[in-house]
């Protein structure tokens, strides 16, 4: 069958992307799902910083690539061997497929699935194949999803079925922003009720961490960003304090507000300055979690003795250390109960044809999450 997809041929084109147009909306040939694969009609797909990192070259991936990895849609066709999904069921795409058999999967850490990481790096589905072609040439998949498309074929292990009462525009956000941001708080850090929490960087992931900290009963939730409108929104959803990340005394002010630093600080910006800020605002004995993807060449200078003398912990968190089939339905349930207002993350709905300008807004830090609505002409 034919489908539209957002294809990236050239990495590192200059901004604004509205002029350089790194993403081409083109028709491609989509093969039928192979064994253990599913054809999904994509209904909504979010613009994430990890897409931008591929477009600007921070995260090298093979091209041409059909990008997009945060999406929701409906099951249209089942490949051989898929018996636990039905046609029409609502699904969220998960950008890290897990094989279920490798050592990380067997030890409850599917975020570190080894075949999944290899497939994502190579631009294939988990089973090793590519299902999109153009003029006979294979197109690489982005994180097993290629979600800025009307239709996508993905591995069964890249999908989680969800409650169909959730609108697609909200469901999409659960696949990356919510799993990553909530999981960092609930799985990687495992915060206790009453703990003090700070989040540095308020994109979709950082906002999800703020929501998770509030839902988990954190005693103090401090939100830090450079953009005033994001700080206002954080305050409106319940953050106890907000601070401008560009203020020269931000570290002192957070330490003062939290009586010497927070129990848990989360770096959600993918920048060394944000990681350094998160570490410095963590109290003695506290935990610093980093979930932003920094440029591979970036190094972080750390006062080594502080780890020992202050019993500090630094933890990395990939896709929120989540077990998606366990965690996604839990988070969706909290949303449906009104205890996790993920809808507050949605700042703009756009058409697929307007995606390059959308990435300009993302690069400028405007809004929280823009979502491509596939039905929008």
Report the C-alpha gap between 148 and 20 in whole angstroms.
19
CA distance 348 to 340: 19
Choice between 176 and 275, CB closer to Zn ion: 176
Number of residues that bind Zn ion (CB under 5 A): 9
Q: Cβ of residue 56: shortest distance to Zn ion, in angstroms?
A: 14
Contact set for Zn ion, span 151-180 (CB under 5 A): 176
Half-sphere exposure of 140 (CA within 13 A, CB side): 17
Q: Which 51-70 positions form the footprint of Zn ion (CB under 5 A)?
A: 70
Exactly one of 13, 44, 47, 48 binds Zn ion (CB under 5 A); that residue is 48
Considering only residues 42, 44, 102, 242, which one is a binding residue for Zn ion as defined by CB under 5 A? 102
Omega before residue 3 within 30° of 0, cis: no
Pairing of strands 159-161, 90-93: antiparallel
Of 3, 30, 45, 50, the residue at the interface with Zn ion (CB under 5 A) is 50
- The DSSP secondary structure of 213-224, one letter per residue, reads HHHTT-SEEEEE
Residue closer to Zn ion (CB basis): 109 or 253: 109
Distance CA 161, CA 150 (A): 19
Site for Zn ion in 113-132 (CB under 5 A): 113
- DSSP letters along 161-185, please? E--TTS-HHHHHHIIIIIHHHHHII
- Residue nearer to Zn ion on the CB measure, 50 or 356: 50
Q: Which residues contact 257 (CB under 8 A, 6 or more apart)?
A: 220, 222, 241, 243
Nearest to 5 by CA among 150, 197, 180: 150
Residue 239 interacts with Zn ion (CB under 5 A)? Answer: no
Q: Which of 65, 99, 152, 234 binds Zn ion (CB under 5 A)?
A: 99
CB of 116 to Zn ion, least distance (A): 6
In the chain, how long is the greatest CA-to-CA distance?
A: 63
Q: Which one of the spans 97-105, 217-225, 239-247, 369-377 is the region binding Zn ion (CB under 5 A)? A: 97-105
Smallest separation, CB 8 to Zn ion (Å): 15
CA distance 41 to 75: 6
Bridge-based pairing of strands 37-46 and 71-78 is: antiparallel
Binding mask 17-46 for Zn ion (x = CB under 5 A): ------------------------------
Among 105, 143, 195, 355, binds Zn ion (CB under 5 A): 105
Q: Which residues pair with 3 in a beta bridge?
A: 28
d(CA 324, CA 135): 36
Q: Min. distance of Cβ 338 from Zn ion in angstroms?
A: 25
Ranges within 193-212 binding Zn ion (CB under 5 A)? none
Minimum CB distance to Zn ion smaller for 104 or for 238:
104
Q: Which stretch binds Zn ion (CB under 5 A): 71-79, 109-117, 127-135, 284-292?
A: 109-117
Interacting residue ranges for Zn ion, rule: CB under 5 A: 48, 50, 70, 98-99, 102, 105, 113, 176
């Amino acid at each position: 069958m034919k489908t539209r997809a957002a294809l990236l041929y050239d990495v590192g084109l200059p901004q604004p992307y509205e002029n350089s147009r790194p993403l081409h909306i083109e028709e491609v040939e989509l093969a039928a799902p192979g064994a253990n694969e599913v054809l999904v009609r994509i209904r909504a797909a979010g613009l994430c910083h990890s897409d931008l990192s591929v477009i600007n070259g921070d995260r090298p991936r093979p091209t041409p690539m059909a990008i997009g990895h945060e999406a929701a849609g409906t099951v249209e066709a089942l490949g051989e061997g898929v018996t636990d999904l039905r046609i029409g069921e609502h699904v969220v795409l998960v950008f890290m497929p897990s094989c279920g058999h490798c050592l990380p999967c067997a030890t409850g850490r599917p975020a570190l699935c080894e075949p999944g990481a290899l497939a994502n790096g190579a631009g294939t589905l988990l089973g090793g194949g590519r299902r999109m072609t153009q003029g006979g040439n294979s197109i690489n998949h982005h994180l097993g999803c290629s979600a800025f498309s009307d239709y996508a074929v993905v591995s069964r292990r890249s999908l989680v079925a969800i409650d169909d009462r959730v609108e697609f525009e909200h469901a999409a956000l659960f696949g990356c922003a919510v799993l990553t941001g909530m999981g960092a708080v609930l799985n990687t850090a495992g915060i206790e009720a009453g703990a003090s929490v700070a989040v540095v960087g308020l994109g979709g992931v950082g906002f999800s961490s703020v929501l998770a900290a509030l839902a988990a009963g954190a005693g103090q939730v401090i939100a830090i960003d450079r953009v005033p409108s994001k700080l206002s929104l954080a305050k409106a959803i319940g953050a106890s304090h907000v601070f401008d990340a560009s203020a020269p005394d931000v570290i002192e002010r957070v330490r003062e507000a939290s009586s010497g630093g927070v129990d848990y600080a989360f770096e959600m910006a993918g920048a060394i300055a944000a990681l350094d800020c998160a570490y410095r605002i963590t109290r003695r004995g506290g935990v610093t979690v980093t979930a932003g993807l920094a440029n591979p060449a970036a190094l972080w200078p750390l006062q080594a003795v502080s780890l020992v003398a202050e019993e500090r912990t630094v933890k990395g968190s990939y896709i929120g250390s989540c077990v998606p089939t366990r965690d996604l339905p839990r988070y969706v349930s909290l949303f449906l109960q009104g205890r996790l207002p993920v809808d507050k993350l949605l700042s703009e709905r756009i058409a697929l044809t307007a995606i390059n300008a959308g990435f300009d807004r993302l690069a400028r830090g405007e809004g929280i999450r823009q979502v491509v609505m596939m039905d929008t002409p």
